[in-house]
Amino acid sequence: MRALLQRVTSGSVSVRGNVIGETGPGLVILACAMQGDTAENVEATAKKIVSLRIFKDDDGRMNRSLLDTGGSALIISQFTLAADTSRGNRPGFSAAASPDIGETLYNQLCKSIEDCGVAVAKGQFGADMQVSLINDGPVTIMVEK
């Protein structure tokens, strides 16, 4: 599973002009299930995300995790993270999991992060979404398990 983490002060996602998910300080997570991903990949990804020390401590160093800060997460499915740009000018997305498997693993990721004690808001799988965020730092990190 691939996940692009953005440390944010706030974030939201809208579908057809309606806000369907929001987060305060924490993470906006763009997630993509890849071919061959399993429940074990998803669980490892969730544990890595909530444990990464990418938030500032009292000395201004990135030394605290999402769990340490009590931050929340907005998790959005984004199959374009599977893009292969190695040939030509049109990205290929064949490395992404099929939509049915992708949706199952996306929902599992959301539940696994929530089960760790993090408040989770979600996008809408497969929808045309508009994402707004205020990136804090900016800090943007790719996780792949």
79 included as an active-site residue: yes
Question: Among residues 106, 85, 117, which one has the least CA distance to residue 29?
Answer: 106
78 included as an active-site residue: yes
CA distances from 143 to 24, 52, 56 (A): 21, 10, 19
For residue 25, whether the previous peptide bond is cis, meaning omega lies within 30 degrees of 0, is: no
Supply 92's token pair. 């290929």
Q: Which of 79, 85, 108, 125 is labelled catalytic?
A: 79
Taking the C-alpha atoms of residue 105 and residue 114, their distance in angstroms, rounded to an integer, is: 14
State the Cα torsion 71-74-79-83 to the nearest 10°. Answer: -50
80 included as an active-site residue: yes
Q: Which of 80, 85, 108, 130 is labelled catalytic?
A: 80
Q: Which of 23, 45, 78, 108 is labelled catalytic?
A: 78
Q: Please give the positions annotated as active site.
A: 78-80
